[in-house]
């Protein structure tokens, strides 16, 4: 099967803030206009629009992509919204890729927007609908439960030290201190700060968790013949993969995200990657909780099972380490406006691979990066590999 080569040529985003004055539609426009401006394109140059955003329940607005569409530049154009939970932020650029790789469109604007602050008293109220409506919701579950249950299963299986896991939160919040859009950058945070923070749902503590956030991110993607005209620094989509595990999450092995492995295998195969530990130079795995970054690094086969926490504590995943992980600052540092958070990672790869990441730039002219997101009922993995 021959496919058109697809490049990312522009990226823009809003600041990630706890509560924005802007509506979701306005946030979408802010990010979209920044992305178009970054590659000196206008909406007239765009063939199709892709929108990624969490369910209607978050916003209390029905048919949310139709609601958002004007702010996303969707007027009078083919528009589609994809949604795979927290995996959406990486799935949306995957949709952008196949819109173009199929030959159907030359240029696509991809916008991921989230305004979590509207849902009161806490957006968790909307999240709770992910639990099974017969066998789980009557128990009045709390969203933190599933993370705590998974973290405990992971820690117990491999005898992990919580101190090692906490180094992820420290690294990401410190990295985020150099991100101009970050909500929770903190250059001085320590492991003890994390370990001494309030216990929410043991083993999960306050500083293990990413914050509720408002924000939007946009990318411009196009076919090779357009990309060559628009920029001399196109960033190519080399591989994509996604995979969904069963919703019967309580009968899965929670210590290992096999669906992330399947998504990674799909992406590695497409990218011709046979030794990911050598061939991936930057990783932006999904880190809504510190242990998730490690869990995902193992699922991505970038570390052996149970080995990522020690490697993180040894500095391997620092910005200047052997495998820089979340040089952006991740969800833990930049913030977690669900779909936008995932695509912030793809935007980070774009900037890193073009050498435009400023104070966050990883040394050594990285050539290839991987971004991964995760979500639904702990069951979806989405992976994209970009190359300079």
Contact footprint for other proteins (CB under 8 A) = 11-15, 17-22, 27, 30-31, 33-35, 37-38, 60, 120-122, 124-125, 128, 131, 133-136, 138-145, 148-150, 152-153, 156, 180-181, 199-204, 214-215, 246, 248, 250-254, 351, 356-358
Among the listed residues 179, 222, 230, the one whose alpha carbon sits nearest the alpha carbon of residue 345: 179
d(CA 45, CA 215): 25
Choice between 29 and 105, CB closer to other proteins:
29
Choice between 139 and 187, CB closer to other proteins:
139
Choice between 160 and 254, CB closer to other proteins:
254
Looking at the DSSP bridge assignments, the partners of residue 220 are 10, 109
Choice between 119 and 267, CB closer to other proteins:
119
d(CA 333, CA 178): 10
For the bound state, the minimum distance from the C-beta of residue 127 to other proteins, rounded and expressed in Å, comes to 8
For the bound state, the minimum distance from the C-beta of residue 309 to other proteins, rounded and expressed in Å, comes to 17
For the bound state, the minimum distance from the C-beta of residue 166 to other proteins, rounded and expressed in Å, comes to 17
Choice between 268 and 350, CB closer to other proteins:
350
Place of tokens 């849902």: 119
Residue 219: CB partners within 8 Å, gap ≥ 6?
8, 10, 11, 35, 93, 96, 109, 110, 343, 346, 347, 350
Q: Is the bond preceding 203 in cis, omega lying within 30 degrees of 0?
A: yes
For the bound state, the minimum distance from the C-beta of residue 14 to other proteins, rounded and expressed in Å, comes to 4
R_g (Cα) of the chain, nearest Å: 19
For the bound state, the minimum distance from the C-beta of residue 273 to other proteins, rounded and expressed in Å, comes to 26
d(CA 331, CA 207): 12
Choice between 133 and 188, CB closer to other proteins:
133
Choice between 240 and 379, CB closer to other proteins:
379
First CA to last CA across the chain, in angstroms? 23
Torsion angle of the four alpha carbons 354, 356, 362, 367, in this order, in degrees rounded to the nearest 10: 0
Place of tokens 């802007």: 22
For the bound state, the minimum distance from the C-beta of residue 1 to other proteins, rounded and expressed in Å, comes to 27
DSSP alpha helices (H): ranges in 102-142? 124-127
Region for residue 311 given its phi and psi (left: phi exceeds 0; alpha: psi -120 to 50; beta: otherwise): alpha
Choice between 115 and 368, CB closer to other proteins:
115
Torsion angle of the four alpha carbons 187, 296, 282, 185, in this order, in degrees rounded to the nearest 10: -20
For the bound state, the minimum distance from the C-beta of residue 216 to other proteins, rounded and expressed in Å, comes to 8
d(CA 92, CA 54): 12
For the bound state, the minimum distance from the C-beta of residue 314 to other proteins, rounded and expressed in Å, comes to 27
d(CA 259, CA 86): 14
Choice between 68 and 313, CB closer to other proteins:
68
């Amino acid at each position: 099967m021959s496919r058109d080569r697809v490049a990312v040529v522009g990226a823009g985003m809003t600041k990630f803030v706890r509560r924005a004055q802007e509506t979701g539609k306005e946030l979408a426009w802010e990010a979209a206009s920044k992305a178009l401006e970054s590659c000196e394109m206008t909406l007239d140059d765009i063939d199709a629009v892709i929108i990624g955003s969490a369910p209607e329940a978050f916003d209390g607005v029905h048919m949310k992509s139709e609601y958002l569409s004007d702010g996303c530049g969707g007027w009078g154009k083919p528009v589609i919204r994809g949604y795979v939970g927290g995996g959406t932020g990486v799935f949306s650029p995957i949709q952008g890729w196949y819109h173009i790789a199929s030959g159907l469109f030359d240029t696509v604007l991809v916008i991921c927007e989230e305004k979590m602050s509207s849902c009161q008293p806490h957006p968790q109220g909307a999240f709770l609908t992910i639990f099974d409506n017969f066998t789980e919701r009557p128990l009045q579950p709390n969203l933190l439960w599933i993370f705590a249950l998974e973290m405990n299963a992971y820690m117990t299986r491999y005898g992990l030290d919580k101190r090692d896991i906490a180094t992820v939160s420290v690294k990401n919040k410190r990295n985020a201190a150099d991100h101009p859009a970050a909500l929770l950058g903190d250059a001085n945070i320590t492991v003890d700060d994390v370990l001494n923070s309030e216990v929410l749902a043991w083993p999960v503590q306050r500083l293990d968790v990413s914050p509720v956030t408002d924000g939007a991110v946009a990318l411009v993607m196009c076919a090779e013949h357009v990309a060559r005209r628009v920029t001399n620094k196109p960033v190519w989509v080399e591989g994509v993969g996604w995979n969904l595990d069963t919703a019967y999450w309580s009968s899965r092995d929670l210590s290992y995200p096999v669906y992330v492995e399947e998504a990674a295998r799909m992406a590695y195969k497409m990218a011709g990657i046979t030794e990911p530990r050598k061939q991936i130079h930057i990783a932006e795995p999904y880190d809504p909780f510190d242990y998730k970054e490690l869990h995902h690094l193992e699922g991505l086969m970038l570390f052996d099972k149970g080995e990522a926490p020690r490697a993180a504590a040894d500095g391997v995943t620092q910005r200047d380490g052997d495998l820089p992980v979340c040089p952006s600052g991740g969800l833990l540092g930049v913030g977690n406006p669900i779909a936008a958070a995932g695509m912030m990672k793809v935007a980070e790869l774009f900037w890193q691979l073009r050498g435009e990441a400023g104070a966050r730039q990883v040394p050594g002219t990285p050539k290839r990066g991987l971004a991964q997101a995760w979500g639904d009922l702990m069951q979806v993995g989405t992976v994209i590999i970009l190359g300079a």
